[in-house]
């Protein structure tokens, strides 16, 4: 078995470490105590280096080796942390991510990392002097160790002696360090890990480790490594009081620790390929469909045993549904973590000082939705940076701090997830939006005078709309926010805007927790059955034909004192209307707006599985997808948002 049998595992774990490095680098610039953050970045770089070396990817191993050297010198205070160095670290993470992508597609690492390695090497101090005394901790390292002790984390000092006859001392030392990384946090090495791996030590070296394992267990695990003559362990009791025997005593004679033992909890999780989860979800969706058929059959036959079995199956499948949905749920952190680096880079290009805040990253949502969220959020963030946040001089002139703030937050609201992008910038100029909309022919001057702020701000999402005065890499081309709204509507979501000129803007995205299984209202049109998502329905009503009014060739009805436009779903679907004296009407709600659609019959609620329409029918207006009912009949799912667009087209277009 070659190392390429482990390629998938290497790529997954390396991606996780780069993601962790990216998150910690964002915190580093603002950290009051950077030592702890540097330690986290160092640990990820060190692990990545070891994995790359074991897989034979020398370019990645060399870059991460130099990177951890620089980080180690930063931890010891020999190199200062500043914005330029953090920029270089971000560049290193980005290039390493690209290297992993190339390995995934071609199986070979790129040969273009040498320049990055050179840049990182230039940060290192020359004539580095490292003491090999076991008690020679520098101030920053001792601070980290003391913090661990204060938090109740056991810290051990391990003295390891390599046999005099060992041919490759560096390899043995690397194996010891790698094993230590498996059960604890390496806080200090004497000599340094670089010198250990190069074999630049006599026979004995020491490691200071934070770990929950007992001294006995540490001795047992390290003694299994060949050509190690002795392992001696003592608890850390202060810089001046460390007493570690370095004589070549047999490692099996080590005395047990008097320190309270702490069990290390194993993480009860496994990695599962997404394809397998998708297959499992597909089979469960089929089970939901069969549940509907069983319920329909039980109602039809009215058999007591069959009805009882059907009810038990329904309860079991409902519980299974909760479990399945929880498996598909992913934290929004997987999306949010991509943006700090982008915001930092773009803000520098724009010459703006922007503080980027993340809140509610632990909020979970269906993976199918997460996969589609990156682009809409990216557009909104770029919009806030370009149009919202002012230049530092402009902010100071208006009494604001020179640094602007953009907050990306998420939280639950009932059965929905809300994602907000908020900035404290210039806000949206209502009159400027109206002028642009009138010049583009979106609205008339008369209409503009009666529009509230929410209606005005929704004009921003019209195709081709832009208030930018010049075309830049970020804006001015009239492409962006209309794509955002279209993408969110395809996910069953909506977007709302609030803004105050001079104070800032808030874009709120409201999304369902999942799009694969939804509750719908089944309605009948002639002999056909259609479904409307319950989340889009305010209420249903029965109207007499005499109560339906006509205004400017548009039918309208009164709903709680409001005049609401009434559309015919039969006409939208290319079917003939019913001649009944009373008309069933479904009242739809979206973004504080109401719309009504008349149907032939109201059938009832049902839980359904959303199926894609396929490539041929995917672009059909007015339809979200289709589902299979318990009777085996196929029902189309109506896209309620189609009845709220300013320039509507029929669903049968």
Band of residue 615 on the pLDDT scale cut at 50, 70, 90? low
Neighbours of 582 (CB within 10 A): 11
Average pLDDT on 127-148 reads: 60
- Cα distances (Å, whole numbers) of residue 487 to 379, 423, 490, 493, 502: 11, 22, 5, 9, 29
pLDDT at site 124: 66
pLDDT at site 126: 37
Band of residue 596 on the pLDDT scale cut at 50, 70, 90? very high
Band of residue 581 on the pLDDT scale cut at 50, 70, 90? confident
With beta carbons less than 8 A apart as the criterion, state whether 17 and 11 touch.
no
Q: Per the omega criterion (within 30 degrees of 0), is the bond before 191 cis?
A: yes
N-term to C-term CA, the chain: 57
Among the listed ranges 525-529, 588-592, 599-603, which one has the minimum average pLDDT value? 588-592
- DSSP H helical segments within 251-366, as ranges? 274-301, 304-328, 333-336, 339-350
Position 244 pLDDT exceeds 50 = no
pLDDT at site 393: 92
- Residue 287 burial (CB < 10 Å; 0-12/13-18/19+)? middle
Give the separation between CA 294 and CA 316, rounded to whole angstroms. Answer: 13
Best CA proximity match to 557, nearest among 545, 548, 570: 548
Best CA proximity match to 533, nearest among 541, 524, 542, 522: 522
Interval 297-344: pLDDT, tens: 888 888 888 888 888 888 888 788 778 777 778 889 888 888 888 888
pLDDT at site 409: 93
Beta strand pairing call for 554-559 and 549-551: antiparallel
Average pLDDT on 240-261 reads: 38
pLDDT at site 280: 82
Neighbours of 554 (CB within 10 A): 10
Band of residue 247 on the pLDDT scale cut at 50, 70, 90? very low
Band of residue 566 on the pLDDT scale cut at 50, 70, 90? very high
Q: What are phi and psi of 205, to 5 degrees?
A: -135, 160
pLDDT at site 612: 75
Give the separation between CA 437 and CA 240, rounded to whole angstroms. Answer: 75
- Round the average pLDDT of the chain to a whole number and report it: 80
Position 129 pLDDT exceeds 70 = no
pLDDT at site 338: 82
* 456's tokens: 């005005």
Q: What are phi and psi of 413, to 5 degrees?
A: -135, 95
Q: Can you spell out the DSSP letters for 427-451?
A: ---HHHHHHHHHHTTSS-HHHHHT-
Interval 68-98: pLDDT, tens: 888 888 887 778 888 888 888 888 998 998 8
In degrees, rounded to 5, the angle at the alpha carbon of residue 51 between the alpha carbons of residues 50 and 55 is 115
* 635's tokens: 């029902």
Give the separation between CA 514 and CA 86, rounded to whole angstroms. Answer: 38
Average pLDDT on 625-638 reads: 84
Interval 345-400: pLDDT, tens: 888 888 999 999 999 989 988 887 887 888 899 889 988 998 889 999 999 999 99
pLDDT at site 5: 60
Give the separation between CA 113 and CA 117, rounded to whole angstroms. Answer: 6
Band of residue 51 on the pLDDT scale cut at 50, 70, 90? confident
């Amino acid at each position: 078995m070659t190392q390429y049998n482990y390629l998938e595992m290497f790529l997954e774990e390396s991606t996780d470490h780069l993601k962790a490095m990216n998150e910690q680098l964002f915190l580093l610039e603002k950290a009051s105590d950077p030592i702890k953050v540097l330690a986290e970045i160092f640990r990820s770089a060190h692990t990545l280096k070891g994995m790359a070396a074991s897989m034979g990817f020398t370019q990645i191993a060399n870059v991460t080796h130099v990177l951890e050297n620089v980080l180690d010198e930063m931890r010891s205070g020999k190199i200062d942390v500043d914005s330029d160095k953090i920029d270089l670290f971000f560049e290193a993470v980005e290039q390493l991510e690209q290297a992993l992508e190339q390995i995934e597609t071609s199986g070979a690492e790129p040969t273009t990392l040498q320049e990055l390695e050179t840049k990182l090497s230039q940060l290192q101090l020359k004539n580095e002097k490292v003491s090999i005394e076991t008690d020679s901790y520098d101030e920053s390292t001792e601070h980290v160790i003391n913090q661990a002790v204060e938090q109740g984390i056991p810290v051990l000092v391990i003295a390891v002696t390599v046999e005099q006859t060992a041919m490759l001392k560096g390899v043995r030392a690397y194996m010891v360090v790698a094993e230590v990384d498996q059960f604890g946090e390496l806080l200090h090495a004497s000599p340094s890990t670089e010198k250990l791996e190069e074999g630049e030590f006599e026979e004995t070296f020491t490691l200071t480790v934070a770990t929950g394992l007992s001294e006995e267990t540490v001795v047992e695990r390290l003694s299994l490594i060949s050509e190690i003559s002795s392992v001696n362990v003592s608890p850390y009791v202060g810089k001046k009081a460390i007493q570690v025997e370095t004589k070549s005593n047999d490692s099996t004679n080590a005395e047990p620790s008097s320190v309270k033992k702490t069990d290390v909890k194993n993480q009860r999780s496994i990695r599962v390929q997404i394809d397998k989860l998708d297959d499992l979800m597909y089979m469960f969706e089929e089970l939901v469909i069969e549940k509907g058929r069983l319920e329909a059959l039980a109602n039809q036959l009215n058999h007591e045993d069959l009805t009882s079995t059907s009810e038990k199956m329904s309860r079991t499948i409902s519980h299974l549904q909760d479990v399945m949905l929880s498996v598909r749920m992913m934290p929004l952190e997987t999306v949010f973590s991509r943006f700090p680096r982008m915001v930092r880079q773009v803000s520098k290009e724009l010459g703006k000082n922007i503080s980027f805040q993340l809140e509610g990253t632990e909020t979970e949502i269906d993976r199918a939705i997460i996969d589609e969220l990156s682009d809409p959020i990216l557009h909104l963030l770029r919009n806030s940076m370009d149009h919202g946040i002012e230049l530092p001089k402009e902010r100071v002139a208006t009494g604001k701090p020179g640094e602007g703030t953009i907050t990306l937050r998420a939280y639950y609201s009932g059965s929905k997830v809300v994602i907000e992008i908020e900035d404290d910038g210039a806000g949206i100029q209502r009159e400027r939006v109206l002028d642009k909309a009138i010049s583009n022919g979106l609205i008339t001057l008369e209409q503009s005078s009666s529009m509230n702020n929410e209606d005005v701000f929704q004009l921003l999402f019209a195709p081709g709309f832009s208030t930018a005065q010049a075309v830049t890499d970020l804006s001015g081309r009239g492409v962006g926010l209309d794509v955002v709204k279209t993408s969110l509507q395809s996910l069953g979501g909506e977007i709302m805007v609030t803004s105050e000129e001079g104070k800032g803007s808030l874009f709120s995205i409201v999304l369902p927790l999942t799009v694969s299984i939804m509750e719908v209202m089944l309605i009948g049109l002639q002999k056909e059955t259609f479904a409307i998502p319950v989340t889009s329905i305010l209420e249903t009503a029965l109207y007499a034909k005499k109560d339906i009014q006509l205004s400017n060739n548009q039918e309208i009805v009164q709903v709680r004192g409001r005049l609401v436009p009434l559309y015919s779903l039969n006409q939208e679907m290319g079917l003939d209307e019913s001649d009944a004296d009373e008309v069933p009407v479904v009242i739809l709600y979206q973004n504080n707006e109401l719309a009504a659609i008349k149907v032939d019959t109201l059938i009832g609620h049902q839980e359904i599985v959303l199926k894609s329409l396929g490539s041929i029918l995917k672009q059909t207006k007015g339809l979200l997808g289709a589902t299979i009912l318990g009777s085996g009949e196929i029902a189309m799912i109506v896209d309620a948002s189609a009845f709220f667009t300013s320039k509507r087209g029929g669903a049968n277009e």
